[in-house]
Amino acid sequence: MSEHTELPELAVGYMDQGMGHGHYAVIVVETNELLNIKGQNKDRLELIVRACNSHKDLATACKALQDRLEYYHATHKDLCHLGQACPEIKALNLSKAAIAQANEET
């Protein structure tokens, strides 16, 4: 599994622009840098932040499950006679696709 540059920890904060106006923004926790993500409401920004902050752990967990599925399929492939429709093969293909997408360079 290829390694990416470590993502910084992110947070959502309200940016008060005075006179009762403001907006929610994504902030890099360590530097207080604002990320330019416009047109998103607070819930959407919080989802983006949670996804970014948990990316490495999710990719690691997915890889561990993929390894387990590959082992299971290699040792039990005679138990499923559904070919590509076998649930273990479907799950294995989904995990491979998710890991490949998570490791894409942007």
Residue-wise pLDDT tens digits, 23-41: 677 778 777 777 767 667 7
Residue 82 lies in a domain: yes
Helix (H) or strand (E) holding 25: strand 22-28
Is the whole model's pTM more than 0.75, yes or no?
no
- Say how many C-beta atoms besides its own lie within 10 A of residue 49's C-beta: 19
Amino acid at 106: T
* Backbone φ, ψ for residue 65 (5° rounding): -65, -40
Count how many domains the chain has: 1
Q: What is the pLDDT of residues 57-75, one digit of tens each?
A: 888 888 898 888 888 878 8
Residue 32 lies in a domain: yes
Q: Which residue range forms the structural domain that includes residue 26?
A: 10-102
What pLDDT score was predicted for residue 5?
58
Residue 5 lies in a domain: no
Residue 1 lies in a domain: no
Residue 25 lies in a domain: yes
